[in-house]
Chains A and B, each alone.
Chain A
Amino acid sequence: MSTSVGTAPKVSSARAAAPVRPRGGLRAWATRAPLLPALVFLVAVTQLPFVATLVISLFDWNSYDPDARRFTGLSNYATVVTDPALQESVLTTVLLTASVVIVSVVLGLGLALLLDRAFFGRGFVRTLLITPFLLVPVSAALLWKHVLYNPEYGLLNGAWAWVAGLFGDTDPAQPDWISGMPLVAVEAALVWQWTPFMMLILLAGLQSRPGEMVEAARLDGANSLQIFRYLTLPHLRRYLELGVLLGSIYIVQHFDAVFTITSGGLGTANLPYTIYQTFYKAHEYGLASAAGVVVVIGTMVLATFALRVVSSLFREEANRA
């Protein structure tokens, strides 16, 4: 993953140029020393396991049958690429990530625009809005599965029954949401959790927007829509990118809601869940590792794009410093 490091921008901040950097071996090591514990620790705990995953991915290894372990080269990868279940989970991962990120960014933008104006109790409304994001993900998933979606006593059907009752319908339809639309059920729960996060980032972006510019545009006769299209949206671009980027990194890896709400059934198994099953339940170590490596390659594509976005943010900060 560290290959992308080379794309880091050459930063010429005032600070880096300041004459505080000591020359000479001993003093250079003295400035570097504080970095080493963190670097060594990270390499040992995150990079070494991945190297091990790479090695295991080249073996045919099922822990139920440990004597049959043998080197098979790239055949696990061939299986991974042609396995319909895995192909489906790749598709599920893409669908899940894209839909959750897009919907929560759009909703988050709407909420951020609503909150970007003074009104009575604004701080309190913001606090209400971030609550979904602060629930422990497993609790949130359990809440959706049992308290909201349950066909017999869930709030969704309960509220529907109550509304129908007002109109004299004593036996309204009570759909089973999770088996009826499993992927949408998982997505709805995730959108609910991630919209507040997007809202917070975009709200910070809106509040960093220079007020005079909007004022000037308004005096020149621009209407709200024009101001939004030509001033607000370009200003928010970095923040939108950041939200999409961070949201994608977290949701591609998401496990909790899939595990809790559907247990990966009914076509909702994403890659992390499928890999978890392949090694934890099926004990196919070689295959699981190969799938893991494939996920890493996919994430690298995302990450290369991501690092570019972050580096543009970073450059601004470095210039300012």
Chain B
Amino acid sequence: MTNTTVTARATDGIARRARRRSTALGLLAWVVGLGFCLPAGWMLLTSFHSEQDAAANPPALGAALTLDGYRSFFERGGDGPWPPLINSATAAVLSTVLVLLLALPAAYALSIRPVRKWTDVMFFFLSTKMLPVVAGLLPVYLFARNTGLLDNIWLLVLLYTSMNLPIAVWMMQSFLADVPVSIIEAARVDGARLPTVLGRVVAPIAGPGIAATALICFIFSWNELLFAGVLTGVVAQTAPVFLTGFVTSEGLFLAQLCAASVVVSLPVLAAGYAAQDKLVQGLSLGAVK
């Protein structure tokens, strides 16, 4: 009797200590998380400051908020940042659509009804991703110059498609492999034709994964700088290239720069927050589930 009370009291003490430790670690996680996000938070805050407050030292933490940074960013030059933003959106969206059109049939051939030696084909796809971009840049540049494709958004669309295609095939292979073959067989036995099977059976199961794949392709294309910087100039300039030219041209406007960075990052941030789990799964080529 006394024995059990003692044990109960002891476990009670251990539990209390464990609880206290867990609270402390939770607090630590909050502090580290906030600290880690601080530079980005500071950028957001600065984007709402006036140029004078943005450049204050020590930092003007409680300064009045204003939209001037955003206003001057959008009123820059004649058209402001719209042409580069539209170019980036065009390149990212079109190449993502192209990737899906090419990768979906390929992934189908590699997962649901696998061709022979399908692992070899998968490794070929992955090995193209390990070819450093910079090793093929010069021929692409010369090709573009000789064919008049320099400063043309379509060239970027093609290059971004090839850049993201291997990742997309890997990801989608793993998502399509989640569809049980028996269900497909059953549907076919019931007389469903291929389009019906794809639409009614495969799409609902693999759909979220395919959406995540599209998202990752979009993010990578939107972020890309090296190709865009070398192969575009005035007409087809993308948002990251626009950002790099932002600072040197007419001195530095810190609030405006922060506003610009926030605006350019916004599509990626929104997409990434919306699909956090799928993002990891995709970036680790579907290996982490």
Contacts and interface: CB of A to CB of B under 8 A. Distances in A.
Interface of A: 1-2, 4-5, 7-11, 15-16, 18, 20-21, 31-35, 37-39, 41-42, 45-50, 52-53, 56, 111, 114-115, 117-122, 125-139, 142-144, 146-148, 152-153, 155, 157-159, 161-162, 165, 192, 195-197, 200-201, 203-205, 208, 239, 242, 246, 249, 252-253, 255-256, 259-260, 271-272, 275-276, 279-280, 285, 288-289, 292-293, 295-296, 299-300, 302-303, 306-307, 310-311, 313-314, 317-318, 321
B58 A162 contact: yes
30 contacts: A1-B131, A4-B123, A15-B177, A18-B181, A31-B109, A39-B124, A45-B162, A46-B128, A46-B136, A52-B142, A53-B135, A53-B139, A114-B32, A121-B30, A128-B37, A130-B273, A134-B269, A136-B223, A142-B246, A146-B252, A147-B258, A148-B42, A162-B58, A200-B283, A204-B284, A242-B288, A253-B133, A285-B138, A292-B136, A300-B130
A316 to B, nearest CB: 9
A32 B135 contact: no
Contact of A16 (B118, B124, B265, B287): B118
Contacts of B102: 37-38, 41
Nearest to B60: A158
A53 to B, nearest CB: 6
Nearest to A111: B32
Contact of B244 (A39, A158, A260, A307): A260
Contacts of B286: 317
B248 to A, nearest CB: 10
A9 B25 CA distance: 43
B225 A259 contact: yes
A80 B34 CA distance: 46
Contacts of B235: none
Contacts of A5: 120, 123-124, 127
A120 B283 CA distance: 28
A107 B176 CA distance: 34
Interface residues of B, number: 107
A1 B280 contact: no
B108 interface: yes
Interface in B1-43: 22-23, 25-26, 28-30, 32-34, 36-37, 39-40, 42-43
Given A56-B138, A125-B30, A139-B243, A307 B166 contact: no
Interface string B251-289: 010100110111011001100110010011101111111
B200 to A, nearest CB: 19
A80 B255 CA distance: 43
A289 B181 contact: no
Please name the 8 residue pairs, one residue from A and one from B, whose CB atoms are nearest each other, closest first: A119-B26, A34-B105, A49-B136, A52-B139, A139-B261, A45-B162, A162-B58, A292-B135
Contacts of B22: 117-119
B126 interface: yes
Given A41-B161, A321-B177, A255 B226 contact: yes
Contact of B59 (A41, A45, A121, A159): A159
B214 interface: no
Interface SS majority for chain A: helix
A310 B118 contact: no
A21 B118 CA distance: 12
A200 B279 contact: yes
A130 B276 contact: yes
Contacts of B219: 134
B229 to A, nearest CB: 8
A162 B157 CA distance: 48
Contacts of B283: 197, 200-201, 246
B57 interface: yes
A242 B287 contact: yes
Interface in B209-234: 219, 222-223, 225-226, 229-230
A167 to B, nearest CB: 13
A257 B226 CA distance: 11
Interface in B105-139: 105-106, 108-110, 113-116, 118-139
B287 A159 contact: no
Contacts of B289: 204, 208
A147 B181 contact: no
Please indicate which of the listed interface residues A38, A146, A296, A311 has the most CB atoms of chain B within 10 Å of its own CB.
Answer: A38
B252 A32 contact: no
Interface in B39-97: 39-40, 42-43, 46, 54-59
Contacts of B141: 279
Given A135-B265, A137-B240, A144-B39, 4 more contacts: A7-B123, A152-B57, A157-B57, A259-B244
Contact of A132 (B40, B59, B108, B225): B40
A81 B16 CA distance: 64
Contacts of B125: 38, 42
Contacts of A314: 119, 122, 287
Contacts of A204: 280-281, 284, 288-289
Contact of B135 (A50, A144, A208, A317): A50
Contacts of B237: none
B78 to A, nearest CB: 23
B127 A303 contact: yes
